[in-house]
Chains A and B, each alone.
Chain A
Amino acid sequence: MTSTTLAAALPAEHRERLMRLAREVSFPAGARLFEEGRRAERFWIVRTGTVVLDVHVPGRRAAVVESLGHGELVGWSWHVPPYVWHLGAEALSPVRAWEFDAATVRELCARDAAFGRAVAEWVGRVVADRLRAARIRLLDLYGPCGSGSRP
């Protein structure tokens, strides 16, 4: 798995361009950043604190599937049609983050092919990294039989 933090994954020139579109925001612990099924109109990069991605399960506390910390991208559904969140996100602790308007970034990606390719590569790396991690966790390797008993 490779580093997918903004600083490591996006070349400096494109990073600076992206950061010109950022605005500083903060969330108290427990604040909901987005909800499953809603339009993905913004995204964030965590500066401090922890954001958890969760899935609503009726009758119980939302199930946390991943934690995100410093430098990590919160949300990628804003980059992929139909631009709808498939998870929820909540600030586990007080969070400071850079917030971006998804439509503005997408528009810039469409106007500037090099920038658009760099952003697509960055988001693609994030998705690939989380997919790989999810697949390994699916194996339940720490369980009693590791990756499964042999037939």
Chain B
Amino acid sequence: MTEVPLPYRVTRVHRETADTVTLALVPAGPAASAPFVPGQFAMVYAFGVGEIPVSVSRIGRRTLHHTVRSVGAVSAALCALRPGARVGLRGPFGTGWELGRAAGQDLLVVAGGIGLAPLRPLVLQALAARSRYGRLNLLVGARTPGDLLYARQLRSWTAQRALRHCAVTVDRSADGDGWWGHVGLVTALLKHAAFAPENTTAFLCGPEVMIRATARDLLHRGLPPRRVRVSLERNMRCATGHCGHCQLGGVLLCRDGPVIGWDRAEALCSVREL
């Protein structure tokens, strides 16, 4: 973990959607002191503008990929970067998905919107050690077909037999967008996923309302709450558990999260004041 941003160089910028890019970053000096694991995040610093938390969306030997959506001043500055530009990076921070604890079980990965970004390295990790796990289901929801992240990779995953079930749904399709896939909420895809609830670990990331709806459905189907892993988001500043901005009840999400079990998250997510 680093307190001071380390310099990283942008080697590639891939435009995912109209407002979202994936940055490939390599160390321009010493690398982060510890390797990232899926689910963790970095504080990415746009020099002269500010710093924001961004989940790692792919982990290479030297390269870190971060998918950034332009929603504010810092994220807009990061989205405007070109190859060769430099950023500051602190991390890794927070908890990971802990895929290893799901060995031998069916995996159910449910992503909504940009929530697919922190889940992508988990899917890649599971595919790289396919024999360690049972059936792998990936369910993805997006606003429109044009808002789907990693569209090429999703098509490739859909075609792969390594995934037992890969399904994508959109909230709405517009005239002429060429969408012939599913339309509806991501929870509707659960009906067609192949998993044994008593032997499944689920990994959820997306808007909190979507997480709550999906987690409740999974509990109704018999998954124990501790095997529903969710990634939560609050306003993170220091990322080291000192400032308290990301406090959710007794949990500091930058340190104790962002990934926690639904057995802890359920009560916290139902308190309006939090």
Q: Which residues of A contact B (CB under 8 A)?
A: 1-5, 50, 52, 57, 60-61, 63-67, 69-72, 92, 132-133, 136-137, 139-147
Contacts and interface: CB of A to CB of B under 8 A. Distances in A.
A142 B142 contact: yes
Interface string B143-182: 1000100000000000000000000010111111000111
Given A61-B175, A147-B209, A67 B182 contact: yes
16 contacts: A1-B188, A1-B190, A2-B220, A52-B183, A65-B172, A65-B183, A69-B191, A136-B185, A141-B113, A142-B114, A142-B143, A142-B206, A143-B143, A144-B19, A144-B71, A145-B71
Contacts of A142: 112-114, 141-143, 147, 171, 206-207
A133 B184 contact: yes
A18 to B, nearest CB: 19
Given A141-B112, A141-B113, A1 B216 contact: yes
- Interface size on B, as a range, is 35 or more
B187 A133 contact: yes
Interface string B196-231: 000000000011011001001100110000000000
The interface residues of chain B, by DSSP majority, are classed as mixed
B182 A5 contact: no
A92 B217 CA distance: 27
The interface residues of chain A, by DSSP majority, are classed as loop
A5 B216 CA distance: 18
Contacts of A69: 182, 191-192
Given A141-B209, A144-B71, A147-B209, A67 B113 contact: no
Contacts of A65: 172, 183
B191 A72 contact: yes
A67 B169 contact: yes
Given A5-B191, A72-B191, A141 B183 contact: no
A75 to B, nearest CB: 16
